[in-house]
Structure 1
């Protein structure tokens, strides 16, 4: 029996497993599909909330702690696995920002480099950007990571660790409770997986998992569709954001464009209308993309939550059960801090930030 059972093999679940194993704990991670193939794979990999000044303090605190984590993690994973997560710190250009004054005030308050720049800077950095921009906001410290590669590297590292057991393509059908009411493991078609403590990191499926112990977690799936252009290398060097949509370059020249926000339950069906909308947005940001092939179109399910604040901590009234879910659009952004915060609590260490805003007590929908 492992010390910990983690349900959900996305970036949140895998980073939790890595930190627990690094701390000498034994971990079983169970995933209904392949590790890192749901929302962690489907997103864009921007290591910041899109408009960070529009979020409340709880999200901002997690984001600020997480920001400097990915360069170190990427180097570690490359060294240990040979898989490069392709962390790039090239900054972000914000075009057509309506609340510019609010953004600059936020940046001054938190000490974040953010400045107003004119066309000479915009087109020196991104010559192919939409013509006619007279001003933009420039955040030089923002980075991005190739999230599918990050997922591959995390999975590969966990597979090498003797304290970690990966169980993929195994769906949890319910949590197992003892007569005392505490959780002692989870059931799958293969039988009971027992553990000292259970952590639900199930993303958009987290609420379904907690229903088996009569806990109503207000986390819902929110669909997002994206497209990928096969573009010439160097067409765009950094993330460019305009009117709530963005383009993200990869090292091989490919350019991601996203994303939609759709309340469609667990339906991941693709739509022609969404593809056209994404194409229109992307080609407005970078007109040259109109001449590039759309190589791929996909959808993922974000774990929506009230105000986008994740649920991190023990489940009230259910002994041995913990949750880390509900990161909405910022799962990858907030993963380093949210997983560290939970692991600190699990192991009795001093927390990196105040855990109170993320606790489940007082935030559950019932049960």
Structure 2
């Protein structure tokens, strides 16, 4: 028997779960389906940094990321569920003059010279050009956060079904049939698997490997970051080291070469860190679009069908802002034209007669 909802969401990672929450909070009836368990896939493999500064692409992206940071702060204050929200901030390392100048654009950063860095953090390898501290770039625990969004959505009436594989979305006179859900609107939030439901949508996968170290006797007040590599301190005293970048590798196996790379990352930040006990190693696939900006918006040619996928390294960072953008599109709220164009899924839908579009900026 079909269950009628306003919105059916396909995908139970942090993007789908956050969309479910903000739609339910807006008063819509929501049903979410996930082919596996919740908060798996890319979500469970992520580091959890909310690095609006360290992941800067352009000013529009930065504004979107900052909105997401604010939404996280409000969310963790309101729900009363532990999401591993950890303050302190990110130390963005600068090894070159170019990196030093890039960091100087921020008026909300604290700059530490290499000497000041060494005096404050003597056990960490001082970068040649110092580092910038961004105290607003906190981090969360990805799986805990996704599950918290889902739990909060369910408390607001959303339904969640796992173990349901969707290979087709059927149009009906009343909307769309998605498994047992009959919905007026559909949101596809299945990461790189979203391409299976949207013909022609271009997305690739970039594998990343991480490891978790038992470093309870090594206090680290900040996340350390440089060019996508990081050391993240968890509240339990462990450290997450990441991440490798392996384009077009579709398995999620941990490898010897990945292990070597992760130990090199650990040593580059903190000499001797690679000698600490390894508690866990894992790998995941980051969904990458044609221009590294996510697809967020209406699927071209489909009424009331939206996609939110392809967040690459920024799925955790952008989840609540993405959810609010999808919500606004569904309920008819005004969205800035520049944002609609920058995230428009049509950027990544190619046909034989089309040529690749140039990257568009937020």
2:203–2:348 contact (8 Å) kept in structure 1: no
SS in 2 for 1:287: coil
Question: What is the SS of the residue equivalent to 2:250?
Answer: coil
> Aligned match of 1:355 in 321, 331, 340?
340
Asked whether the equivalents of residues 59 and 308 of structure 1 are also in contact (C-alpha less than 8 Å), the reply is: no
- Distance change (3 Å), C-alpha of 1:203 and 1:58: farther
Distance change >3 Å, CA 124–CA 2, structure 1 → 2 = farther
Shift of 1:153: 1.9
Distance (whole Å) between structure 2 residues aligned to residue 171 and residue 227 of structure 1: 30
- Please point out which of 194, 215, 219 is paired with 1:206: 194
Matched, 1:116 2:114: no
Which 10-residue stretch deviates more, 295-304 or 96-105? 96-105
In structure 1, the partner of 2:359 is none
Q: TM-score of the superposition, structure 2-length normalised?
A: 0.88
Larger displacement relative to structure 2 (135-144 or 200-209): 135-144
Distance 1:334 1:280 in 2: 29
C-alpha displacement of 1:259: 0.4
Q: Distance in 2 between matches of 1:336 and 1:349?
A: 16
Q: Determine if contact 1:2/1:194 at 8 Å carries over to the other structure.
A: yes
Cα deviation per residue 1:87-140 (whole Å; 9 max; x = unaligned)?
A: 122122122343235423532xxxx41243124542454332125756222223
Structure 1 residue 193: deviation in Å?
2.9
Kindly tell me: are residues 132 and 186 of structure 1, through their superposed partners in 2, closer, same or farther at Cα, counting changes over 3 Å? closer
C-alpha distance 172-266 of structure 1, shift in aligned 2 (>3 A): farther
How many pairs align? 347
- Whole-angstrom distance in 2 between the partners of 1:199 and 1:174: 13
Instruction: Provide the TM-score with structure 1 as the length reference.
Output: 0.87
d(CA) in 1 for partners of 2:53 and 2:201? 25
Q: Is the 8 A contact 1:97 1:243 kept in 2?
A: no
Aligned pairs for 1:164-183 (under 5 A) are 164-178=158-172
Instruction: Sort the Cα spacing of 1:159 and 1:321 in 2 relative to 1 into closer, same or farther, 3 A.
Output: same
For the aligned residue pairs, the C-alpha RMSD in angstroms reads 2.3
Cα distance change of structure 1 residues 176 and 63 upon mapping to structure 2, 3 Å threshold: same
Q: Distance in 2 between matches of 1:69 and 1:234?
A: 31
Task: Give the Cα–Cα distance (whole angstroms) in 1 for the partners of residues 115 and 134 of structure 2.
Answer: 16
Seen in structure 2, the aligned counterparts of structure 1 residues 41 and 132 have a Cα distance that, compared at 3 Å, is closer
**Structure 1, residues 59-88: CA drift from partner, whole Å, max 9, x if none?**
2232122122222212223x2xxx311212
Please state whether the residue corresponding to 1:308 is helix, strand or coil: coil
Residue 345 of structure 2 aligns to a residue whose secondary structure is: coil
1:181-208 CA-to-partner distances (Å, cap 9, x unmatched) read x961224xxxx43211111011111111
Match 1:185 to one of 177, 180, 185: 177
Compute the displacement of 1:57 (Å): 4.0
For residues 227 and 313 of structure 2, the distance between their equivalents in structure 1, rounded to whole angstroms, comes to: 16
- The alignment partner of 1:4 has SS state of strand
Evaluate the alpha carbon distance shift between residue 346 and residue 90 of structure 1 in structure 2; reply closer, same or farther with a 3 A threshold. same
* Separation of aligned partners in 2, 1:132 and 1:27: 48
Per the TM alignment, residue 246 of structure 1 is displaced from its structure 2 partner at its CA by 0.8
Q: Distance in 1 between matches of 2:74 and 2:217?
A: 26
Query: Which of 206, 213, 216 is 1:232 aligned to?
Result: 216
SS at match of 1:173: coil
Aligned to 1:157: 152
1:94 equivalenced with 2:92 (yes/no): yes
Q: Relative to 1, partners in 2 of residues 1:244 and 1:337: Cα closer, same or farther, differing over 3 Å?
A: closer
Match of 1:260 in 2: 244
C-alpha separation in 2, matches of 1:209 and 1:132:
45
Contact (CA 8 Å) 1:233, 1:254: kept in 2 or not? no
Q: 2 CA distance for matches of 1:350 and 1:8?
A: 26
Q: Work out whether residues 175 and 182 of structure 2, in 8 Å CA contact, stay in contact via their aligned partners in 1.
A: no
**1:71 and 2:73 aligned:** yes
Q: Which residue of 2 aligns with 1:33?
A: 36
Mind listing any 5+ residue stretches in structure 1 that lack a counterpart? none
Residues 199 and 322 of structure 1 are in contact (CA less than 8 Å); yes or no, is this contact kept in structure 2? yes
Deviation (angstroms), 1:58:
4.2
